[in-house]
Structure 1
Amino acid sequence: MTATPPLVLVEPSAHRPGGHRDHALTALAAAHGNAIVVAPYGVAGQTRAALERAGARVTGPAGTLPALLAAAGTYTATAAAYGQRAFTSRRWPDAVRRLPHQVTLAARCLTEAACVRTGRRLTGGGTVVVLSASEALHGAAGLLGGPHLRFVHELVTTEDAALRTLGRLTRRGERRVMALAPTGAVRDDLAARFPRLPVTVRPFAVADPGDRLTDTDRRRAREAFGIPSHEPAVCLVGGWWPYKDPATVGAALARLDIPVHVLVVGGPATHRLLKTWAALPHVRLHTRPGPVPETLVREAYAAADAALVARHPGVAKESGLVVDAVRLGIPLICSDHDPQLTKALAGHEWVRLFPVGDSAALADVLRDLAWCPLPRPAACAAADLGVPTAAGQTAFLTNLKGPC
């Protein structure tokens, strides 16, 4: 019987517990059965335990050149961190304030290249996938590391002249990589910035039938949080990132005239805002500061009657929170910030959409949740939205005609 060829999964963020990338990493490793995980900064304890159960081999950059590249990436990242602290004041010119972020992109490139070279050496040239790839210097990563696939989740950092020049000098390396964009909008951004880079659209998140929460999970979770069975609860997972809209959520909570439990899980979070929410007369606030492991995230979803997603208009990156709701079988309340996502969710009984930034409309949805709970999504909901299973994702990655 022929053994399954190894699949190399590079995850630079594996040392941070929890999150959508952590779930994808462990799910893909379990589904493939012969995975090698290259984690430059180590692996969080719970993640490592899950990878061990999946039979995955975990390593860091190994070999002379990968070790040198990884060391260079570490020193460069340290310099970038010092620079961010030193130049954070608005008294500095924009070009100076952006410089540390440019250095961070270079550091990520060096680290990714070290991991890709390690993976290719361990597998003799097998499939290597960077699960959380940098949004820049794709050609340099291909030249230094070798052929690989790379998931680019979003493009947030503006490239200044020096980085653009380095990108042009290493452009031939773009033929050695295949970028995977989780949404069409991210694909369009990549195509505009890197017109020669091969790009294909592929969801990053995965969902399996075994992920669904049970009625027993729900009962135990609500007992753990101290939430009565007849009182409504919503959860906000992942903290406040710039693309999220906690101000609209807060304004909606201030309009409530019935009790609603609000579970805030993960980080970073604005403690001043949480203090304001906790003081509202009809809000029962429960917090689990992040980063938190997958078990606590599941418990928060299980205790909630719906997951709440509120983002600023125009944000079109893949929403791991939306996929969480689908794969775990939790109803969803979501802003209409992304026309493509709105179109996909419209008409589903387990979803309530509200106009982006409209706190009055969100407050009405939360009131309705108390009197008329939303149904849970069907087991086929993930497939209906185009979310692959972990086995389907590994088959796609290993069969994709990638770079050479």
Structure 2
Amino acid sequence: MKTQVCIIGGGPSGLLLSQLLHRKGIETIVLERQTRAHVLGRIRAGVLEHGFADLMREAGCGQRMDAEGAVHDGFYIAHDGRMDRVDLHRFSGQSVLVYGQTEVTRDLYQARDAMNGQILHEVSEVVLHDLKAATPHVTFVQDGEARRIDCDFIVGADGYHGVSRKSIPADVLKEYEKVYPFGWLGVLSETAPVCDELIYARHDRGFALCSMRSQVLSRYYIQVPLSDSAESWSDEAFWAELKARLPEDVAARLETGPSIEKSIAPLRGYVAEPMRYGALFLAGDAAHIVPPTGAKGLNTAASDVHYLYHGLLAHYAEGDESGLDSYSEKALARAWKAQRFSWWMTSLLHRFHDGDSYDSRLQQIDLAYLFSSEAAQVSLAENYVGLPY
């Protein structure tokens, strides 16, 4: 087999890049180790920066997103028994769109199907070859048969555990990591959202988040120790703990019900440098992971896609290598800004068990300063809606 760009990983970033390139006449093949049903079954966040939404529209995949997604001009931070609103539109001129990552992925699959895009599922034993040569290739196994793809470039969008980043020599790759001593217990329920905008809650018992997928589907989270398991939390215990961390008036109107999905996600920050090695370009979780507090995971992957898409387009249309040559530098600069913002949001809103009264008081002072300073709210808003590409 032969193509121009071989994309490892059939998640939203790999599918979005494939769709964008295909619409410009650039051939791609996507390799995914899981089934399509498994990819579509992943429960992920759904706060989209305006830049991500624009990419979906450019890819011809924004119709359902625009029809069903909820435009949010702000969000709330609950602290010390009160609710303060961050007015995103006032302080940045932009908004965010709440639309589930599962729905994003479904829209991208449908678009690829409509264009007869090549997506090979359930592939294994993927190996990247000759990354420093003019003719790289990828080998893999599908249905028990060894196969090969010759290509110009390889994009590794296969996540933290994928093979792409591991194909960069250890003496070239530099890794940075911060592991937080807690996770988020998340519950998905067929209940109406408690608020029409997201609520981030700082409480002495721990962090909480009230989010939504639709007007009849809600997503809630509470901070828990990493030693906990989702099975150890009954629905009743979860709802009781969530209510305890919310202001009384919010807790009183919280609609509860059976969970239809429950899981614990650990929190960590991670960055790999560089994001290019020869013909290989890393994108998304293969190169960086952020705590979910700032809603930057999928959105930072989208900024990688933006830089790669335009770099590859300039290469094939004009023979201009500047976009590809600067890809790692540009993508890392934005990824590190997302790391900083996510670290700050996490530090501001979570309970750190190794902290003391001094740290807790600083959180309170930081929040008091935030809502007394327009400059501080401008900084928060411009980071939350998405820094420019």
Range of TM-score over shorter length: 0.3 to 0.5
Q: Which has the higher contact order (CA 8 A, sep 6+)?
A: 2
Compute the TM-score of the two structures, normalised by the length of structure 2. Answer: 0.36
Compute the TM-score of the two structures, normalised by the length of structure 1. Answer: 0.35
- The structure that is helix-richer by fraction is 1
